[in-house]
Chains A and B, each alone.
Chain A
Amino acid sequence: MKYWIKKLELLIGLMWILLCLCSGCSNGTKTPAALIRSTFIACQNLPYVDISTNANFEHYIASIKINSDENINIDQQEKLNASLLDMFHAYHDGNYDTYMAFRTPGLLKWTMDPDAINIMLGLWSSATNVAPPTNDKDLWVWYLRNVSGGNYYKDFWTGVCIDPQILNAQLGPANGFMNYGIEIHKMNKMTTLYWEFHDLDQRTNLMWGLYYTTTYFREEVTPRKLIESRGYLLVADIYCFIRRDPPYPPQPLFARFYWSDSIRGWVPMDLAIGALRHVGAYNHVRVTAF
């Protein structure tokens, strides 16, 4: 009997060791769940700067060093800062004109994308029983109000953290996505954030589930055609974190603008927004239109 009890004690000991190995506590590394939790807390604790019309916010954006190997002139730098301010205000101020100032800047000639019209008509038919508007703009105005929760993104984003040094220090390396902050470079081949990130997003099944926006606007000469004719496109990549309206958690934001010689300004090209996986379900009422 004593012999069997000794054997059983040994078995229990082995099971404890096995259990420790399973739960990952034996090697001192963080489990995926722990890593997600700590990243979530780190995102919440970032020093967000309130999006506002006062000079503080403008100075904050202007203070971020633009990382670039290209020869960027003062005009391009200032216009990029202005475009970023337009973007942050577009998802904060709650004003249709502010949104459009970001989305269709300057004298850019654009039309609504035909596929986008079909998507909007789809939403219209599921939301109403009446005939849709008879022009593109009215349909778009309705659509934007609808997906923004009825108020054109009033306080949708409330704060921004875009300082690469702070993001690196508090969140660790950018893990193969864009670099933190603002980076300007030449794009020699047409690509999209979806094609750049999708594999990475799938492989790193840890924290960010990315939502890729679909463009609703089509320029007269598209970025694809510009690369085709000129061989490259000057683009500005933005990787920052945004503080959302409560109760939603902060989100990483990836944005890309391209330089348009025709309007002498930056044009929004692509947007991807992340949401933390596994930290609870958030029933999002508002969807980021682009």
Chain B
Amino acid sequence: MNKLTSEKIKIAVFFMLFPLLVLLAILAKHRNGQDWRTAPQPEVERETQSIVTWAKLPFVPLSNRTALTQYLHGIFIVDGDQLSSIQHEKLYDSILRLTDAYSVGTLQAYMDFRLPEGAKYDVSERQMTMITADWNKLNSNNTRPPTNDLDLFEWWVGKQSDGGYYKDFWQGICMDPKVIYNSIGTNDLDGYPMTAGIIVSNRREMSPFGDFVMRSTFNAGIIGYTPSFIFKNTPFGKVSQDTNVMTFSIYFFVQPSPPDPILPVDIRYMWDSESTNWVPTDFIMGNLLMHSKRYCAF
């Protein structure tokens, strides 16, 4: 009888200890083994859901130039009546140069977008220092970086595009705000109103673009690019502005080549009256989950 009781006690102790041991083992694993970078993150889960939704948007292929041009001309431009005829015409040229830059796959196509003809510019010393350090890290032999800043930048475009100058990086775009709002609503996951399409502004004070984008558009995890060039005839990087600045901003979605997910892209252009061209001054792109080897140079 006593022996039987002793066995029962052992069984009872075991059943009490077993869950405790399992619990301790789990705690020990989490205390020492969990990497904070791979811990579950609600933002990433939300972002994943956003990408699933964005993938359902109708994308216009960049390969059909005629269809793309017609598509762009069909988009209502908010406050577009403030544009002169030449500004209006060149707005479309600028967007086409942008889509070429990330699909044609040549350095020339990229540079046509980045440095529009005739626009005067300075290089960003901060960005050139970063690119030089990048060069020096990759070239551990004594190869010196190019002394010409433009050559240095062009090397970097090749490197950032994984050597292909963004050949077919972007395959399609969705820019029509009516379609975007109908498909995915007018508020983001935090309840802020979203912005899509082409918006013209003609004001004296320039709002910093990143700040505006973060508050008001599709942005769960954005990459703001430091511009490598500062255009002289724009107020970028200047505190005071004597006259109004004509800008247009585009907020749209890009369908990249696999395996990259759908990307929201926001770009602002300013009007350079001397070169009579729109010059790209701000570039912001989503999102957290992009594990691409290709990074947009800007």
Question: Which residue numbers of A lie inside 8 Å of B, CB to CB?
Answer: 1-2, 5, 8-9, 12, 15-16, 18-19, 22-24, 31-33, 113-118, 121-122, 125-126, 131-136, 139, 189-192, 194-195, 205, 214-215, 218, 222-224, 228, 277-278
Given A19-B28, A22-B28, A191-B136, A224:B236 Cβ within 8 A? no
Residue of B nearest to A31 (CB): B32
B46 interface contact, C-beta 8 A: no
Select the stretch in B53-61, B64-72, B121-129, B285-293 that faces chain A: B121-129
- Contact assessment for A139 and B211 in the assembled complex, using a CB-CB cutoff below 8 Å: no
In the assembled complex, the CB of B253 is this many whole angstroms from the nearest CB of chain A, namely 25
Across the interface, A139 reaches (CB within 8 A) one of B37, B236, B239, namely B239
Q: Which 4 A-B pairs have the closest CB atoms?
A: A114-B237, A122-B208, A195-B133, A189-B136
Residue of A nearest to B26 (CB): A22
B11 interface contact, C-beta 8 A: yes
Residue of A nearest to B130 (CB): A192
- Contact assessment for B211 and A12 in the assembled complex, using a CB-CB cutoff below 8 Å: no
Given A5-B7, A12-B17, A191-B133, A114:B32 Cβ within 8 A? no
**Could you count the A-B residue pairs with CB atoms below 8 Å apart for me: how many are there?**
112
- Contact assessment for A19 and B24 in the assembled complex, using a CB-CB cutoff below 8 Å: yes
Bound CA span A135–B17, Å: 71
- Contact assessment for A115 and B124 in the assembled complex, using a CB-CB cutoff below 8 Å: yes
Residue of B nearest to A19 (CB): B25
Which residues from B are CB-within-8-Å of A214? 126
- Contact assessment for A32 and B237 in the assembled complex, using a CB-CB cutoff below 8 Å: no
- Contact assessment for B133 and A228 in the assembled complex, using a CB-CB cutoff below 8 Å: no
Bound CA span A259–B134, Å: 23
Residue of A nearest to B139 (CB): A189
On chain B, which size bracket covers the interface? 35 or more
Known: A12-B21, A115-B127, A195-B133. 19 other contacts (CB 8 A): A2-B7, A8-B14, A12-B18, A22-B25, A22-B32, A23-B28, A23-B32, A32-B32, A113-B126, A114-B230, A117-B238, A118-B237, A121-B206, A135-B239, A190-B129, A192-B129, A195-B130, A205-B35, A224-B125
- Contact assessment for B237 and A12 in the assembled complex, using a CB-CB cutoff below 8 Å: no
Which residues from A are CB-within-8-Å of B122? 114
Given A33-B31, A190-B133, A222-B125, A125:B21 Cβ within 8 A? no
Given A12-B14, A31-B32, A114-B230, A192:B133 Cβ within 8 A? yes
Contact mask for chain B residues 39-65; partner A; CB cutoff 8 A; 1 contact, 0 none: 000000000000000000000000000
- Contact assessment for B132 and A136 in the assembled complex, using a CB-CB cutoff below 8 Å: no
- Contact assessment for B134 and A118 in the assembled complex, using a CB-CB cutoff below 8 Å: no
21 chain-A/chain-B pairs, Cβ below 8 angstroms: A5-B7, A5-B11, A8-B14, A9-B10, A19-B24, A23-B31, A33-B31, A114-B122, A114-B236, A114-B238, A115-B126, A115-B237, A118-B237, A133-B239, A134-B239, A135-B239, A135-B240, A190-B129, A191-B133, A205-B36, A228-B147
Which residues from B are CB-within-8-Å of A139? 239
Bound CA span A31–B30, Å: 12
Which residues from A are CB-within-8-Å of B238? 114, 117
Bound CA span A133–B241, Å: 11
- Contact assessment for B205 and A131 in the assembled complex, using a CB-CB cutoff below 8 Å: yes
B207 interface contact, C-beta 8 A: yes
Bound CA span A136–B25, Å: 59
Which residues from A are CB-within-8-Å of B133? 190-192, 194-195
Within 8 A of A (CB), among B85-144: 122, 124-130, 132-134, 136-137
B164 interface contact, C-beta 8 A: no
Bound CA span A31–B125, Å: 43
- Contact assessment for A33 and B239 in the assembled complex, using a CB-CB cutoff below 8 Å: no
Across the interface, A5 reaches (CB within 8 A) one of B10, B36, B124, B207, namely B10
Bound CA span A222–B31, Å: 47
Bound CA span A2–B11, Å: 10
Bound CA span A190–B126, Å: 12
Given A5-B7, A16-B21, A205-B35, A117:B125 Cβ within 8 A? no
- Contact assessment for A118 and B236 in the assembled complex, using a CB-CB cutoff below 8 Å: yes
In the assembled complex, the CB of A278 is this many whole angstroms from the nearest CB of chain B, namely 8
Bound CA span A31–B147, Å: 48
In the assembled complex, the CB of A234 is this many whole angstroms from the nearest CB of chain B, namely 17
- Contact assessment for B208 and A121 in the assembled complex, using a CB-CB cutoff below 8 Å: yes
Which residues from B are CB-within-8-Å of A190? 129, 132-133, 136, 145
Which residues from A are CB-within-8-Å of B28? 19, 22-23
Residue of B nearest to A138 (CB): B239
Bound CA span A91–B25, Å: 46
Within 8 A of A (CB), among B203-250: 205-208, 210-211, 226-227, 230, 236-240
- Contact assessment for A33 and B21 in the assembled complex, using a CB-CB cutoff below 8 Å: no
Bound CA span A131–B238, Å: 13
